[in-house]
Amino acid sequence: MKNTIGARIAEQRKQKGMTQEALAETLGVSAQADSKWENDVSCPDISLLPALAEKLEISLDELLGGKKAEERVRITPAPQRSVEELNLMIRMQSADGDRVKVTVRFRGREMAHTNLGEKLLIDFSDACAEIASMEKNPKLEGRFMAMFLTPKNSK
């Protein structure tokens, strides 16, 4: 088999189980244009090459030169966690049986939302419920809201 762009288009189209008409329709050209490409009478317009390669699920290099592209593995990043979540995890995992003071500092306009800080402290306490209990409810002292956690007795 010839190693021309037309031969590669025909081969890939057939592997995908597509007809010339179906491929041509997705690219917005006539079936006759596709036939001319596959018979090496003409070549696809350069502006169609990226869409053609994508439709055939091959790289442009593979479409134009016949060279198999290296297999790519897409690695998706792990979901981003906020700094607050990471701090919470670190503090939960580093308890050694000591009494722990958990503090939230409010800056500037944050003082208007102390209820959010209280909710954060209570959520922290709930997350630590297996290993610690809240000694006192969160208490606002100036710009700081604090609570103490004590370890549960392990018997």
Count the domains in the chain. 2
Average pLDDT for the chain:
82
**DSSP state at residue 40:** T
The two three-digit tokens of residue 71, written as one number? 């297999």
> Domain for residue 9, yes or no?
yes
Rounded to whole angstroms, the Cα distance separating 26 from 50 reads 13
Whole-model pTM?
0.43
Return the exposure string of 134-145: e unless at least 16 CB atoms fall within 10 Å of the residue's CB, then b: beeebeeeeeeb
For residue 92, pLDDT beyond 70: no
Residue 155 has a pLDDT of: 44
CATH number of the domain to which 59 belongs: 1.10.260.40
> Domain for residue 127, yes or no?
yes
Average pLDDT estimate for 2-10: 85
70 lies in some domain: no
